[in-house]
């Protein structure tokens, strides 16, 4: 657990001195699990364990732990506030009220919780951005699946994604979209390029050594994938239709410049091209 005790908690949350740490400890553990160890955008189990074991942070560990702990504290508070606004007993659920205090209104409580959740995600974004900037200093993170810049997909970072679909440079959202980007590659891109051309261009992209003739292809691929992934995520039919439009533009570009892509399969147009009604064709119509 990154926040170890009440003294550390008070560095990140304004709480009354009579707050018992045990009352929020479970929520701090939940926050670590739901936020830092999220399988899509968390920091990864190994790196989390490494940070959790640090007794006296040094150098860049100091700022990173400050950002992560603030994120965890705000998230935990959002969980704690809702549960501790009521009292659970054998008699059921009751609103907490004393002679000196009265419960906050539902609207006020929800506003506080929403603010804390927003703050939590903002600090998580700052932590991920800081990790990206200083990735060489945090090798356990950089070498894990949690690393936010990965070249196995044609869109490797939030900066590339934002060129085509704006997600406010949110690394959390980008990491949530990665499986949809992969799905888009498998459904929309690889069948059109064919395995050979797909693998050649992907290898160049991963090596940061794209040939000039492949630059416009990659841009069209990225534009297609960004719209596809975000459209699927938001269940937005307009974005998905835009993805199909960009896919068609990619196909048309490849067909018009086929001499530049000699290993492009001849059946890459999914029926969009002119039907080859010739006697030598197996599909010749009499």
Q: What is the pLDDT of residues 127-163, one digit of tens each?
A: 999 999 999 999 999 999 999 998 999 999 999 999 9
Cβ atoms of 165 and 232 within 8 Å: the answer is no
Mean pLDDT (the chain) is 88
Mean pLDDT of 114-121: 96
Phi-psi region of 95 (alpha: psi -120 to 50; beta: other; left: phi over 0): beta
Using the structure block, give the residue that is written with the tokens 């929800």: 110
Share of residues in the chain with pLDDT > 70 (%): 85
In this predicted model, which residue has the larger pLDDT, 23 or 206?
206
Q: Quick one: pLDDT at residue 258?
A: 93
Mean pLDDT of 256-267: 90
| DSSP per residue, 59-87 | THHHHHHHHHHHHHHHHHHHHHHHHTTEE
Q: Quick one: pLDDT at residue 84?
A: 67
| DSSP per residue, 197-247 | HHHHHHHHHHTT---GGGHHHHHHHHHHHHHHHHHHHHT-HHHHHHHHHHH
Mean pLDDT of 172-181: 97
Cβ atoms of 9 and 73 within 8 Å: the answer is yes
Domain boundaries, given as residue ranges, for the chain: 6-142, 158-260
Whether residue 97 has pLDDT greater than 90: no
Whether residue 285 has pLDDT greater than 60: no
Q: Quick one: pLDDT at residue 100?
A: 55
State pTM to two decimals: 0.82
Whether residue 101 has pLDDT greater than 90: no
Q: Quick one: pLDDT at residue 281?
A: 42
Say how many C-beta atoms besides its own lie within 10 A of residue 44's C-beta: 18
pLDDT band at 282 (very low <50, low <70, confident <90, very high): very low
Tokens at residue 209, please?
A: 């050594």
CA distance 284 to 278: 6
How do strand 92-95 and strand 86-89 relate by DSSP bridges? antiparallel
């Amino acid at each position: 657990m990154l926040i170890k005790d009440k003294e550390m908690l008070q560095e990140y949350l304004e709480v009354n001195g009579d707050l018992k740490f045990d009352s929020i400890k479970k929520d701090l553990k939940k926050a670590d699990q739901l936020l830092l160890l999220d399988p899509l955008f968390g920091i990864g189990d190994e790196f989390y364990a490494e940070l959790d074991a640090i007794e006296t942070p040094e150098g860049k560990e100091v700022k990173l732990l400050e950002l992560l702990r603030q994120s965890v504290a705000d998230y935990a508070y959002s969980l704690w506030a809702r549960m501790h606004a009521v009292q659970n007993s054998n008699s059921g659920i009751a609103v907490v009220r004393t002679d000196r205090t009265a419960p906050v209104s539902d609207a006020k409580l929800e506003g506080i919780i929403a603010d804390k959740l927003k703050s939590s995600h903002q600090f998580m974004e700052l932590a991920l951005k800081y990790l990206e900037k200083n990735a060489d200093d945090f090798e356990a993170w950089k070498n894990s699946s949690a690393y936010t810049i990965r070249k196995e997909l044609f869109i490797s970072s939030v900066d590339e994604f934002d060129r085509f679909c704006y997600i406010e440079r949110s690394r959390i959202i980008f990491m949530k979209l990665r499986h949809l980007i992969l799905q888009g590659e498998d459904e929309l891109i690889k069948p059109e390029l064919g395995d050979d051309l797909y693998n050649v261009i992907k290898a160049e992209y991963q090596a940061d050594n794209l040939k000039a003739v492949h630059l416009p292809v990659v841009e069209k691929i990225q534009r297609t994938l960004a719209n596809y992934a975000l459209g699927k995520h938001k269940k937005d039919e307009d974005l998905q239709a835009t993805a199909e439009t960009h896919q068609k533009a990619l196909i048309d570009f490849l067909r018009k410049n086929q001499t530049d892509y000699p290993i492009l399969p001849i059946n890459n147009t999914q029926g969009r091209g002119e039907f080859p009604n010739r006697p030598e064709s197996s599909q010749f119509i009499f």
